[in-house]
Amino acid sequence: MVNQPTVISTFAGCGGSSLGYQMAGFKELLAVEWDDNAVETFKLNFPDVPVYHGDIAKLTGTECMKLAEIKRRQLDVLDGSPPCQGFSTAGKRKWNDPRNSLFKEYARLLNELQPKVFVMENVTGMVKGCMKQAYLTIIKTLRECGYKAKGEVLNAMYFNVPQSRERVIIIGVREDLGIEPSHPKPWGKPIHFSLCPEIDDAPVPLKGVELERWDNIPQGGNWQNLPSRLVNGKAKYSNFHRKLSNSLPSYTVGKKEHYSSGRFYHPTQPRRISDKELLWVGSFPVGFLTVGNGKEIHKRIGNSVPPNLMKAIAEHIRNRILKQL
């Protein structure tokens, strides 16, 4: 493709963001990821993209530019989704959580590479309650790298993703370019689970107490709909024993709910949703290749930015920001 805009993806995971940029016509010059399973999955789906498989803290800006074959200020977009567990409302939400410091490595590379635009994604927990000060510190740090930066909460379900998934998207534009950062507007109404295509990897039907739970939970319900005899001590959380609905988007796919701490039940069939259905819920194409067991697949999807959401962001950047240059 002529005049393809370029992107480097940090914290690339299995390639959710990368797929979004690819669909929007970008050329990915480098992916940075340390997790072995994520890297193996990424390489299966993006064999032509160079991968730095290691700790981002050990990747210098000079080495990054050498691997991507670019010079400073030449890159169009630096993308990144630093691990967010320390900000998540599901955790203890401590600013000094070591997992929160990884955004500093992203900011370091941003400062060294000086791309035209950056995109940083994180959980909404970073703008709520006690974490709001952390968010303001992050924005300040990114602006000090020489960027106009703006954050907005976007819900993936309005961008052709069959899942309600709110995320903070921070977009920055280098100050010397004189362009204000902006975000895409919603594409349309949410997609329901009933639109999921026929997929051939349906799990074994539920039986015993799991079948009883499925019978007692209405579509869109969870453990709170169960009689007390079917609720164990660990199940008293809203993300346990969830049944999807044919008239609503899926619940947010986290890292553990489907395979360990809870269940994503199929709305009309007495079974959990399958691995391929879970990929579809994440807006990954049916043909996306995966590695490992169901738990690993679920973790990859839970950690990813939905490709269709990133496609909307990338197209907006290409058409509303980069085309002005």
Query: Which residues have a catalytic role annotated?
Result: 84
Q: Specify the DSSP element, H or E, that contains 171.
A: strand 166-174
Phi/psi at 100 (5° precision):
-75, -20
CB atoms under 10 Å from CB of 39, counted, come to 22
CA distance 16 to 276: 15
191 and 165 Cβ atoms separated by less than 8 Å: no
Location of structure tokens 């990929």: 279
**Cβ neighbours of residue 4 under 8 Å, at least 6 residues apart?**
25, 26, 27
Paired with 261 in beta bridges are: none
Paired with 53 in beta bridges are: 33
Q: Specify the DSSP element, H or E, that contains 81.
A: none
